Amino acid sequence: MPRARARPRKATVTATGENKPTVLVVEDSPTQAEALVATLEDDGYDATLARDGETAVRILQERGFDLVISDIVMPGEVDGYELCRRLKAGPHRETPVVLLTSLSDPMDIIHGLEAGADNFLTKPYAPEHLLERLAVLLTTRRARARGRVRAGVTVYFMGRQFTVTSEREQILDLLVSTFEDAVRQNHELREREAALARSQKTLAGLYGIAVALNGCTTEAEVAETALEKAMELPGVRAGWLSLREGETGFRVVATRNLPPALRAPEALQGDCLCQRKLLAGELDQVTNILECERLQQARGETRGLRYHATVPLWIRDRTVGVLNLVAAEQGLFSDDDRTILYGVGNQIATALERARLREHLEHLVDQRTAALTAEIAERRRAEESLRLSDSILNQIGNLVLVADSNGLIRYASPSVRTVLGYDPEDVMGDAWWTLSREDPDERARERAAAVRVARGEVPPPAEPYERAVRARDGSLRWILWNDSKGPGDFVIGVGYDVTERKTLEEQFRQAQKMEAVGRLAGGVAHDFNNILTAIIGYSDLLLADPSLAGAARNDLMEVRTAADRAARLTRQLLAFSRKQVLQPQLLNLNDVVSEFEAMLHRLLGEDIRLATALAPDLGTVEADPGQLEQVIMNLAVNARDAMPEGGKLTIETGNVELDDEYLETHSGVTPGPYVLLAVTDTGHGMDGSVKAHLFEPFFTTKERGHGTGLGLATVHGIVNQSGGHIWVYSEPTHGTTFKIYLPRLKEGAVALQREKEQPELAAGWETVLLVEDDPGVRKLVASTLGKCGYRVLEAEDGAAAGALARSHEGPIHLLLTDVVMPGMSGRSTAESLVQSRPDARVLYMSGYTDEAVTRHGILEAGIHLIQKPFTPGALARRVRQVLDAPAAPAGGE
Q: Are residues 50 and 176 in the same domain?
A: yes
By percentage, how much of the chain surpasses pLDDT 90? 19
Determine the pLDDT at residue 93: 85
Determine the pLDDT at residue 181: 61
d(CA 344, CA 213): 11
Q: Are residues 166 and 129 in the same domain?
A: yes
Which of the pair, 93 or 518, is modelled with greater confidence? 93
- Residue 432 DSSP code: G
Angle at 182 between CA 134 and CA 138, to 5 degrees: 15
| pLDDT surpasses 50 at 597 | yes
Q: Are residues 146 and 254 in the same domain?
A: no
Does residue 504 form part of some domain?
Answer: no
Q: Are residues 404 and 339 in the same domain?
A: no
Contacts of 426 (CB under 8 A, 6+ apart): none
Query: Do 119 and 137 form a contact (C-beta atoms < 8 A)?
Result: yes
Q: What is the mean pLDDT of the chain?
A: 78
| pLDDT surpasses 80 at 652 | yes
Which of the pair, 614 or 397, is modelled with greater confidence? 614
Which of the pair, 165 or 741, is modelled with greater confidence? 741
Q: Are residues 220 and 254 in the same domain?
A: yes
Does residue 366 form part of some domain?
Answer: no
Q: Helix, strand or coil for residue 34?
A: helix
Q: Helix, strand or coil for residue 265?
A: coil
CATH number of the domain enclosing 440: 3.30.450.20
Q: Are residues 646 and 725 in the same domain?
A: yes
| Residue among 300, 293, 224 nearest 262 (CA) | 300
Q: Are residues 493 and 622 in the same domain?
A: no
Q: How many domains does the chain have?
A: 5
| Domain end marker among 497, 526, 559 | 497
Q: Are residues 268 and 342 in the same domain?
A: yes
Query: What backbone torsions phi and psi does residue 545 show, to the nearest 5 degrees?
Result: -80, 115
Q: Are residues 242 and 331 in the same domain?
A: yes
Q: Are residues 252 and 349 in the same domain?
A: yes
CATH number of the domain enclosing 812: 3.40.50.2300
d(CA 378, CA 386): 12
Query: Do 829 and 815 form a contact (C-beta atoms < 8 A)?
Result: yes
By percentage, how much of the chain surpasses pLDDT 70? 74
CATH number of the domain enclosing 321: 3.30.450.40
| Domain end marker among 446, 478, 497 | 497
Query: What backbone torsions phi and psi does residue 67 show, to the nearest 5 degrees?
Result: -145, 150
Contacts of 420 (CB under 8 A, 6+ apart): 399, 435, 469, 471, 472, 477
| pLDDT surpasses 50 at 884 | yes
Does residue 388 form part of some domain?
Answer: no
- State the pLDDT confidence band at 236, using cuts at 50, 70 and 90: confident
Angle at 573 between CA 568 and CA 574, to 5 degrees: 100
| Domain end marker among 359, 383, 405 | 359
| Residue among 99, 116, 127 nearest 38 (CA) | 127
Q: Are residues 101 and 136 in the same domain?
A: yes
Averaged pLDDT, 680-685? 90
Beta bridge partners of 325: 239, 309
| Residue among 353, 455, 371, 344 nearest 407 (CA) | 455
d(CA 239, CA 339): 17
Averaged pLDDT, 222-234? 80
Determine the pLDDT at residue 170: 56
Does residue 560 form part of some domain?
Answer: no
Residue range 779-814, pLDDT digits in tens: 999 999 999 999 999 999 999 999 999 999 999 999
Domain housing 85: 17-191
CATH number of the domain enclosing 705: 3.30.565.10
Does residue 580 form part of some domain?
Answer: no
Averaged pLDDT, 129-134? 86
Query: Do 50 and 24 form a contact (C-beta atoms < 8 A)?
Result: yes
Does residue 163 form part of some domain?
Answer: yes
Does residue 850 form part of some domain?
Answer: yes
Does residue 201 form part of some domain?
Answer: no
- Euclidean distance between the first and the last CA atom of the chain, given in angstroms as a whole number: 133
Query: Do 454 and 406 form a contact (C-beta atoms < 8 A)?
Result: yes
Q: Are residues 172 and 263 in the same domain?
A: no
Residue range 461-514, pLDDT digits in tens: 777 877 778 788 877 788 888 877 777 778 788 888 888 888 778 767 776 776
Give the β-pairing of 153-157 and 160-164.
antiparallel
Which of the pair, 387 or 97, is modelled with greater confidence? 97
